[in-house]
Amino acid sequence: MHRRAPSGRIDLLLRGGSLVDGTGAAARRADVAVVGDRVAVLAPGVGAVDAAEVVDVTGRVVTPGFIDVHTHSDALTATFDGADHGTEELRLAPLLQGVTTEIAGNCGSSLFPALPALAEHLRVTFGLGPVRPARDFAGFAAGQRPGLRCTHLASLVGHGTLRAGVMGFADRPPTPGELAAMCDLLDRSLGQGAAGFSTGLIYPPGGYAGTEELVALASVAARHGKPYVTHLRDEMSQVEKALEEALEIAARSGAALQVSHHKTAGRHAWGATVRTLARLDRARAEGVDVLCDVYPYTAGSTVLSAMLPPWVSEGGPAALLARLGGPEVRERVRADLVHGVEGWENTVGNGGWDLISVAAAPARRSAEGRRIAELAAERGADPVDYVCELLLEGRGEVTIISHSMREDDVRRVLASPLSMIGSDGVPKPGRPHPRWAGSFARVLGHYGRSQGLLPLELAVHKMTGLPAARFRLDGRGVLRDGAVADLVVLDPAAVLDRATFARPLLPPEGVETVLVAGRVAVRGGRPTGARAGEVLRVR
């Protein structure tokens, strides 16, 4: 900490606040000076300072900018097809709760390395129109619209995108040549600065991969010192078996393991976090570098087609749509929902259509925010028929919210020293899950201050220093001299999420100022219009 102000003119001085630096250490009094896009930490009351602007933050807390380790915002500022896929409200939602860096490309889906044949897959996943794909991470970075990003963006390489580009939606192991091609594409993008390798093993085509394929690809990530980030093959009744597979892949490949949005969902898995978190502790003791992330809600969100048995999606989006009109297909779906399919995470069978609501349905906006069971009953239709018609009408582009978790499991994962915060935000128009606009403020306000689950310093560490170290985001996550000036000023007595399932994009209270790369992007809780976000290249 400096005892005197740095030489030269300071652009902004945050004076009189408490510094929570992202390491987990106790808060301390300090002033923070911003010079260009970097910070200097000053002793409180350092004396006369030549600053262009001085902000009194007495009674407030100054932290590093928050890092959302799990988003699906890949397309919000992409220009691959020349169209605008986001809205201003959707783009601002992370920023207004203090997020300055997002990590996208999760659950096996990224916008690169994409081949022309993937246009339909990317349309359904991200809501994109006709796509001019990015062939690698460098192309993806170049395809982000300058001056539009509110936050910085790093991206993983999605296994589903890799696999679909090399071998389509075939439900079979890759040939040696196909596996080598996937490894080469992954190696290229990781070398260009992609942040890691992700899988989504409940989604086609990623779910068609066997363990050996994933070990080979995770080994490429390990050579780059980057993590294997996985949506487990099952997060419900078979979650423990799925976790063992992920740990095996990490141990055999040498890659660090990041378990995405760790949960034990559905009534047959409620309470299992007692065992899964203990297993993660044992794995670390055995030498596996494993961590997880979590969002602070008991409801999840995904694509509607994931509620159907995996054979329905075999062959890709076009094949899915071709099947859904057949009455014999719908009868088989109904039977599988009742009896299950080996290896399939049966969300509906673990709860029912009354626990699933429509988040985004561009072709039928009137359905958004309402439960599937209610919508089907209103039409006098069987829920499976209603779902099939909704998917056909929207050409597969429908997302849902599933109320499938239990509060004690969420609290247990949040409190674990192995967890960090990720919203799993899916920023599509409609009624998206409120986690996109509320996760970080909810952890700080509801679970931290109101419930006493986490002290402020630990909650901030889970949002800053811990994820920055995991994903090698140099200069970010810890507020120290020379760090990038991504900063948050918040009122610890007032910070609280306001986003709800009915009004999912309401901004939080208590997040007063946010700086991105030294530029004030939020002042007085309102956006300033500054756009300083950039694509981050992880080396």
One DSSP character per residue, 462-488 reads: HHTHHHHHHTT-TT-SS--TT-B--EE
Q: How does residue 81 score in pLDDT terms, banded at 50, 70 and 90? A: very low
Residue 318 in this model has a pLDDT that exceeds 70: yes
The pTM (predicted TM-score) of the whole model is 0.95
What is the DSSP secondary structure assignment for residue 366, as one 8-state letter?
G
pLDDT tens column, 155-196: 999 999 999 999 999 999 999 999 999 999 999 999 999 999
Q: How far apart are CA 477 and CA 536, in angstroms?
A: 14
Residue 497 in this model has a pLDDT that exceeds 60: yes
- Alpha carbon separation from 324 to 313, 329, 467, 526 (Å, rounded): 10, 7, 41, 46
Q: Which tokens go with 89?
A: 């409200």
Spatial CA neighbour of 231 closest among 204, 253, 259: 259
Antiparallel, parallel or unpaired: β 290-294 and 299-303? unpaired
Residue 80 in this model has a pLDDT that exceeds 50: no
pLDDT tens column, 219-264: 999 999 999 999 999 999 999 999 999 999 999 999 999 999 999 9
Residue 277 in this model has a pLDDT that exceeds 80: yes
Q: How far apart are CA 313 and CA 319, in angstroms?
A: 7
Find the farthest-apart pair of alpha carbons in the chain and give their distance in angstroms, rounded. 79
Q: What is the mean pLDDT of residues 67-84?
A: 73
Instruction: Please state the φ and ψ torsions of residue 482, each to the nearest 5 degrees.
Output: 85, -5
User: Which helix (H) or strand (E) covers residue 284, if one does?
Assistant: helix 273-285
pLDDT tens column, 446-478: 999 999 999 999 999 999 999 999 999 999 999
Q: What is the mean pLDDT of residues 198-209?
A: 95
Q: How far apart are CA 302 and CA 203, in angstroms?
A: 10
- Alpha carbon separation from 526 to 89, 324, 384, 458, 530 (Å, rounded): 12, 46, 44, 26, 11
Amino acid, single-letter form, for residue 515: L
Q: Is the peptide bond before 113 cis (omega within 30 degrees of 0)?
A: yes
Which of 132-136, 138-142, 525-529 shows the highest mean pLDDT?
525-529
Spatial CA neighbour of 1 closest among 32, 34, 35: 32
Q: Are the CB atoms for 10 and 33 separated by under 8 Å?
A: yes
| pLDDT at site 82 | 42
Amino acid, single-letter form, for residue 196: G
Residue 128 in this model has a pLDDT that exceeds 70: no
